Amino acid sequence: MGWVGGIVLSLLGLAVLGSGETEETNSEGGFFKEPGRRKLRDPFTPKGFCTGSITLRDAKGKVYVVKATELNVNFKPDSVELIGSCCYYLYQHSTKQAGDYQLVTEEGPVKPHLGFVGSVFKTPCQVQSGSVLMTVFLVIGILLMAIILGFVISKMRTKRQHKMLKAEEDDNFPDAV
């Protein structure tokens, strides 16, 4: 009976995965269609993932738009504008998340606190509850394993001590016949 559930889940998965695509094929019907060009309707983005961009402007009017995490931005902004639902970390270091930084969380123009932006890191604004729950369950699981392991080790030690005491008693008091 378990294999029926597996087949149903597989078919359901195929139906869900295939629902986001459209096909451009010839107008001929039938089971076997001639290969045509397939085009995705929308690019894949996980549910709840943010969208948007951050715009950096300098004193000369030069504009730098960042839509994803970028290294080596190397820009001296006079103004910063956030568009969309994402948050961005602006770092002075150009290749990693190091040095002074500014977190931009509110949509609209923002006064930059950094004189130089070396890299920009895109991040969701809200805490991902799944990762928080996973961490809590992991810690609870490790604590339970430690308690169980401690209990088993203490049981083994007491058994060993009882065997040693019994052996000492047998050596000290030999059976007299």
Write out the chain's pLDDT in tens, 177 residues: 455 555 655 554 555 444 444 434 444 444 555 555 545 555 555 566 778 899 999 999 899 999 999 899 999 999 999 998 888 999 998 888 888 999 998 889 999 998 899 999 998 877 655 677 888 899 999 999 999 999 999 999 888 888 877 777 777 766 555
E strand or H helix at 103, and its extent? strand 101-104
CA distances from 56 to 11, 83, 89, 96, 103 (A): 47, 11, 13, 19, 14
